[in-house]
């Protein structure tokens, strides 16, 4: 089976979680795809301090937080749907720290190649044009920094899932038809790309 990991980078169980789950539900409609969801709510991710411990010792980070467990789940998945709330026109800082802390990937998991992995992005903002596109672009760049291939949406959807909550949290996301459709679309696109790469689809 091909596994897609959905991540809500929000510190809450709210709109981002709703949108990522919509994308995962759509991805699961493709035979051969299984999904898992994780939330950053309650997770502790410290910043990378560039001590180079992981590189020198060829091992995981020594810092005692949730990152090592999260990284293990991440390297074992084939594809990703990452959703972030827009905070000040950007993804939440925890998501950037999460990608920075992937530095031990090659040395701690030498048999888990980054190649052939596919990612899609979702951004959730309280304002209609609150920075969703910029946030999606940042998530795309984070994927590229880890050699993960990126898919955008299908015609008219461009880069990924763009959700507007109208500052009503999950209830607002549930009312945002465009947000739901674009999130489901990115779920389908990640699933279809993975099936192609794995030779399960022509
Ligand atoms: C510190 C902070 C900064 C925010 N900045 C923006 C912003 O720049 N643009 C925007 O549209 N919404 C912004 N918001 C609103 C959130 O993106 C919105 O409430 C979103 O639904 C949060 O995701 P969640 O419901 O999954 O937690 C901000 C919220 C917080 C707490």
Asked, for residue 150, whether it belongs to a domain, the answer is: yes
Tell me the three state secondary structure of residue 10: coil
Asked, for residue 78, whether it belongs to a domain, the answer is: yes
Asked, for residue 202, whether it belongs to a domain, the answer is: no
Instruction: List, in sequence order, every residue forming a beta bridge with 121; answer none if it has no partner.
Output: 82
pLDDT value, residue 50: 98
Which pLDDT tens digit goes with each residue over 39-92? 999 999 999 999 999 999 999 999 999 999 999 999 999 999 999 999 999 999
User: Helix crossing, 15-27 with 177-197: angle to 10°?
Assistant: 40
129 lines ligand 1 (CB under 6 A): no
Atom of ligand 1 nearest to the CA of 90: 8
- Domain residue limits at 144: 2-197
Q: Whose CA is nearest to atom 30 of ligand 1?
A: 87
Atom of ligand 1 nearest to the CA of 129: 11
Q: How far is the CA of 189 from the centre of ligand 1 (A)?
A: 26
Asked, for residue 170, whether it belongs to a domain, the answer is: yes
Which pLDDT tens digit goes with each residue over 132-187? 999 999 999 999 999 999 999 999 999 999 999 999 999 999 999 999 999 999 99
DSSP-assigned letters across all residues of the chain: -EEEEEEE--SSSSHHHHHHHHHHHHHTTSTTEEEEEEE-TT---PPP----HHHHHTS-----SSHHHHHHHHHH-SEEEEEEE-BTTB--HHHHHHHHTTTTHHHH-TTS-STT-EEEEEEEESSTTSSHHHHHHHHHHHHHHTT-EE---STTTTTSEEEE-TT-HHHHHHH-HHHHHHHHHHHHHHHHHHHHHTTS--
How many independent structural domains does the chain possess? 1
pLDDT value, residue 48: 97
CATH number at residue 138: 3.40.50.360
pTM over 0.95: yes
């Amino acid at each position: 089976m091909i596994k897609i990991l959905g991540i809500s980078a929000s510190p809450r169980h709210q709109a981002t979680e709703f949108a990522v789950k919509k994308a995962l539900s759509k991805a699961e409609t493709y035979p051969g795809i299984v999904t898992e969801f994780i939330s950053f709510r309650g997770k502790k991710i410290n910043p990378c301090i560039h001590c180079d411990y992981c590189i020198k010792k060829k091992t995981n980070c020594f810092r005692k937080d949730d990152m090592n467990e999260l990284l293990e789940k991440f390297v074992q998945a084939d594809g990703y749907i990452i959703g972030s709330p827009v905070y000040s026109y950007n993804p939440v800082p925890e998501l950037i720290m999460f990608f920075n802390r992937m530095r031990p990937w090659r040395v701690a998991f030498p048999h888990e190649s980054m190649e052939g992995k596919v990612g899609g992005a979702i951004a959730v903002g309280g304002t209609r044009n609150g920075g969703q596109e910029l946030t999606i672009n940042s998530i795309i760049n984070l994927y590229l920094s880890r050699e993960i291939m990126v898919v955008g949406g299908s015609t008219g959807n461009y880069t990924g899932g763009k959700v507007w909550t109208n500052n009503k949290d999950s209830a607002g996301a549930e009312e945002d038809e465009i947000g739901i459709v674009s999130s489901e679309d990115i779920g389908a696109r990640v699933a279809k790309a993975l099936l192609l790469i794995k030779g399960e689809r022509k």
